Amino acid sequence: MEHHAEVLRGLRWYPRMPGWRDVAAVVLVLGAIVLLGHGARQMTGPLAGGHGPAISLSPAALPGYTLRTVLRMLIALVASFVFTFTYATLAARSRRAERILIPLLDVLQSVPILGYLSFTVVFFMSRFPGDVLGAELASIFAIFTSQAWNMAFSFYQALRTVPADLDEASRSFRLSGWQRFWRLEVPFAMPGLVWNAMMSMSGGWFFVVASEAISVGDVQVALPGVGSWVAQAIMKRDLAAVGWAILAMSMAIVLYDQLLFRPLVAWADRFRCGDAAVQACPRSWLLDLFQRSPWIQHACRPAGAALARAARLRLSPGAHWRGFVWANRSFSRRAGDRLWFALCAVAVAGAGAAVLRFAAPALAWTDVADASRNGLLTLLRVTVLVVLASAIWVPVGVAVGLRPRLAAWVQPVAQFLAAFPANLLFPVVAFCIVRFGLAPDVWLCPLMILGAQWYILFNVIAGAMALPGDLREAATSLRLRRRARWLEVLLPGIFPYYVTGAITASGGAWNASIVAETVNWGTTRLSAGGLGAYIAQMTARGDYPRIALGIAVMSLMVVTANRLIWRPLYVFAERRTRLA
């Protein structure tokens, strides 16, 4: 009886005077809720004059602008997680869906952010006429398009490369599809997904100017935020305001790194696969604070118990509907494939016909030739940049990923550099090009690499961190030379992650061409030519047929490169991982 009474006392939680950890944790949680609620309340209201409120360059207004920008990016990040878990899972689970969804993801990734804004800003603003919420939704959707595709590719790659022994273990325990998803696939993919979420957040910063200072033809909307601040400072050639924006962005990046991503990295490390213990684990002072605060633990316990029960449910979508049982299953499968692809072909043909009816009357073959010529120029630049980024960042990413203590220092620095928007470098680049008589078509290219290299670095770091410790110890015990260690252990181990990073890097470089191939500094405009400059020019004019033409050419080139180069490499990497 005494033992049972002691157990009951242990299960019961008695309120006590809060310690310093409880006070600090509660203050942080309540402060975050108040700030986010304040920012969300400002996202609704009348759209003054149809153009949004005037953007002030007073430093006192910058903290509020920064809060609005961070809130938009967090909302877009949550939407990206929902999209990733549904879209990538469907593509990985269904062979028929995979043949449609993965090429479609290639197309979605290849469409530049200005392409989405050009055709969605009017839609969102018409849904909420005269309300700033329509413009806010258009901005959030544009940021979402800079985040979701990279995360979906990462999660899809993880689902297709689950180790065979873990897959067999889940089958031997007879896990349902729902249980397998939450107890095997999500934990296995979580370390790489967290790193790609950081990269996606950085991608949102890169395009924050285009997503907040919306300029599509006659539609001119400037939403309060760091992006609109930077656009206003560039237009007025105010270097001091640019400096204030850099300071505000630096503080915001450090804060959400410490308050969001560092705890996520430390939490996701528990799902690392491998038999050997890791020498050093990533740590987070915020995660340690919450784990050692009894008040926070007690407040989170009901939600944690509910989520654990939900993950243990034996849901099996599709288990109660098997369809018709055919006598010849191979025939029914072929017939189903033909019917499915016929329906998809009809849908694609219908969409293509609609685009042709919209754009063809205003276009000539000379426009197609012009867009194609610019597309080949941008393709050459993207290819060179991806090769250079791979040569530089693959060794660095492996070195960082194999040293968790070094990763803890490098990760926030790399994240800050990845988040640093090229727009803030426009004054320096424009001045140097004009001052030294440099060729814009060559010296504007470094701006594109800012949108390409970090995808490779972050994915390689995630791949190196996911290498099993016992595999590295085996390479050490066998005394493999440096060359053999790279060729036999490191490169094969990170190859699936590198391919994912290279795919998104090429897409990021294509998107970066929109802001890198043409720059403005006051009244000075420099253009390097290329498809990005072509689309940006047509967007400024509001020439929708030629915007559609430029987007179509860009999508065609990206999808062709993915089908001929990246997809075979991806299949090869998946096969090697499965065999391992």
Whether 343 is in a domain gets the answer no
Nearest to 50 by CA among 109, 124, 129: 129
Q: Is residue 317 part of a domain?
A: no
294 within a domain of the structure (yes/no):
yes
> Is residue 533 domain-resident?
yes
Cβ-based neighbours of 163, under 8 Å, separated by 6 or more = 188, 273, 577, 580
Residue 216 pLDDT: 62
Per-residue pLDDT tens, the chain, 580 aa: give them.
Answer: 444 544 444 444 445 667 777 788 888 888 888 888 877 887 777 776 555 567 888 888 888 888 889 899 999 999 999 999 999 998 888 877 787 888 788 777 777 776 677 777 778 887 887 778 888 888 898 889 888 888 898 898 888 888 777 878 888 888 877 888 888 888 888 888 887 888 788 777 777 777 887 766 566 777 888 888 888 887 887 878 888 888 888 888 888 888 888 888 888 887 776 544 444 567 788 888 888 888 888 888 888 788 778 777 776 544 443 443 444 444 456 666 566 667 666 766 776 677 667 666 777 888 888 989 998 998 898 888 889 889 998 998 888 888 777 776 776 677 667 666 666 677 677 778 777 777 877 788 777 777 678 778 878 887 887 777 666 667 677 777 777 777 777 888 788 888 878 887 887 788 778 777 887 766 777 778 888 888 888 887 877 788 888 888 888 888 788 778 877 887 776 666 554 5
Instruction: Please report whether residue 528 resides in a domain.
Output: yes
Q: What confidence score (pLDDT) does residue 79 get?
A: 93
pLDDT at 358: 67
Distance (Å) of CA 557 to CA 475, 513, 561: 41, 14, 6
3-state secondary structure at position 326:
coil
pLDDT at site 225: 87
In one letter, which amino acid is 95? R
**The Cα angle at residue 256 between residues 254 and 262, in degrees rounded to 5:** 90
Asked whether the beta carbons of 69 and 225 are under 8 A apart, the reply is yes
User: Is 321 within the bounds of a domain?
Assistant: no
Degrees to nearest 5, angle at CA 374 with 371 and 379:
120
Nearest by Cα to 253 from 454, 4, 504: 454
3-class state of residue 524 by DSSP: strand
- State the Cα–Cα distance between residues 391 and 336, nearest whole angstrom: 45
Return the pLDDT at 331. 47
Query: Is the distance from CB of 400 to CB of 282 less than 8 angstroms?
Result: no
- Name the residue with tokens 């979580």: 190
CATH number at residue 558: 1.10.3720.10
332 lies in a domain?
Answer: no
Q: Domain range spanning residue 108? A: 18-312+358-579
Is 200 among the domain residues? yes
Residue 7 is predicted with a pLDDT of 45
Domain count, the chain: 1
Cα–Cα distance for residue pair 557/563, rounded to 1 Å:
10
